[in-house]
Amino acid sequence: MATTSRFGIAALAGAGVVLASAVGWKLMPHDAATSPIANATAPTDPVTELQAAVRQNPNSADAWQALGDAQMAADDPAGAVSSFRRATALAPTRAEPWAALGEALVKADPRDPFPAPALAAFKKAVAIDPKDPRARYFLGVRRDLDGDHKGAIDAWFALLRDSPPGAPWAADVRRTIEQVAQINKLDVAKRLAALPTVDPHSTPGTTAGAAIPGPTPEQLQAARSLTPAQQQAMVAGMVDQLEARLARDPANVDGWVMLMRSRTQLGEPDKAKAALRAARGANPGAAARLNAEAATLGIPTS
C-alpha cells in the first residue's frame, strides 16, 4: 500500500514541476526577443531572489507563494512549508496556498507518507475550491493509502475528466492510475481508452501550440509583485528543474514538449533544439510527434 502511494506522490511531484513551468511560461510576454525578462541574466539562485521579494513585501501572500513554489522546485519542501504557511495565513480564503502547503507537508515528512496536517490542508483547499487539481489528486492518494484503491482510481479519473485539454498534469495522473491498477490487479484499460485525452505517444498530433491552463489571478498578481530579475529567477528555476526531471524520466514526451516550448519562449533556440535531439534520442517511437511539435514552435527538425 505504501509503495503504491509513494509512486503516486512522486508522480504528482513531477506533474507539479510541469504545471509550474507552464504557469511560468504563461506569465512571460509572448515576444521573448523584446522581453526584459528574457534579456535579463538569469540568476543562479531563484530562491535567493524570491527571499528578497518577501523581505520587501512581508505581508504579500503572493510573494510567499512564489517563494514556496521556488523552494519546492529546488527540492526544499521543509522550507516551502514555512513559506506556504505564511501564504495561507495572509490569504486564508484562497485554495492554492492550502493545496501547496499540503503537498509540501507530504514531501517534507521522511516517515509519514501522508501526515495529518497535510490531509487537513487538502481538505481546506477543496472546501474553498472543489475543482483544485492538486488537492483532488492528493485526496485520491489518501484513499489509496487507506486501502481504497478503487476509490483512489475513481477520484483520479474524475480529475482527468475535469481537466482541460492538454493539462500538463494529465500524463502523470494517467501513469499513476496505470501503476496503482497494475499493483492492485484492477482493470482500467477501457476507462483509460474512453478518456477524451489522446495518448501522445501513439498519435503524432501537436499540443505545443495548444491552450494550457493559464495562471490564476493570484499567480498573475504574484508575478507583478516581483522585479524582472525575480520573475526571471522563478521561471528559469522552474524550467531548469523540468530539464533535470527529464534527465531522470526521459520517456515523458509531454515533458519534453513543455521544455522545448519553455526554451523557445525564453529566447534559447539552441537549448530548444538540444531538447528536441535529446527527446528523439530517448523516444525514437515518438519522433514523428516530437518533430511536429518542434515545427509548431519554429524549432528546426534537421
Report CA-CA distances (Å) from 279 to 175, 249, 255, 259.
19, 11, 9, 10
Angle at 239 between CA 137 and CA 7, to 5 degrees: 30
The Cα–Cα gap between 235 and 209 comes to: 19
Q: What's the farthest any 2 CA atoms get from each other in the chain?
A: 54
Share of the chain above pLDDT 90, in %: 28
C-alpha closest to that of 240 among 29, 43, 28: 43
pLDDT for 122 beyond 90: yes
Give the separation between CA 253 and CA 230, rounded to whole angstroms: 29
pLDDT of 98 above 50: yes
Of 153 and 171, more confident:
153
pLDDT tens per residue across span 29-85? 333 333 333 333 444 467 888 888 889 889 988 889 888 888 887 789 999 999 999
* Residue 147 CB coordination number (10 Å): 12
Dihedral Cα 104, 109, 113, 114, nearest 10 deg: -50
pLDDT digits (tens, 9 = 90+) for 219-255: 445 555 566 666 666 677 777 777 877 888 888 887 8
pLDDT at 177 over 70: yes
Report d(CA 130, CA 42) in Å as an integer: 37
Alpha-carbon distance of 80 to 206, in angstroms, equals: 35
| Position with higher pLDDT, 186 vs 165 | 186
Architecture of the domain whose range is 2-297 = Alpha Horseshoe (1.25)
Residue range 15-35: mean pLDDT, rounded? 35
Amino acid, res. 104 = A
Q: What is the DSSP letter of 131?
A: T
The CB density around residue 104, as the number of other CB atoms within 10 Å, is 26
Average pLDDT value for residue range 76-104: 94
Q: Per-residue pLDDT tens for 185-216? A: 999 999 988 886 444 443 444 444 443 333 44
Rounded CA-CA distance 280/217 in Å is: 36
Residue 168 φ then ψ, to 5°: -70, -15
- Amino acid of residue 263: R
* pLDDT value for 130: 94
Q: Calculate mean pLDDT across residues 115-144.
A: 94
- Cα 136 to Cα 72, 101, 141, 206, 296: the distances in Å are 19, 14, 9, 28, 33
- Residue 193 CA to residue 280 CA, distance in Å, equals 25
* Mean pLDDT for the stretch of residues 161-180: 81
Q: In the predicted model, is pLDDT for residue 278 greater than 80?
A: yes
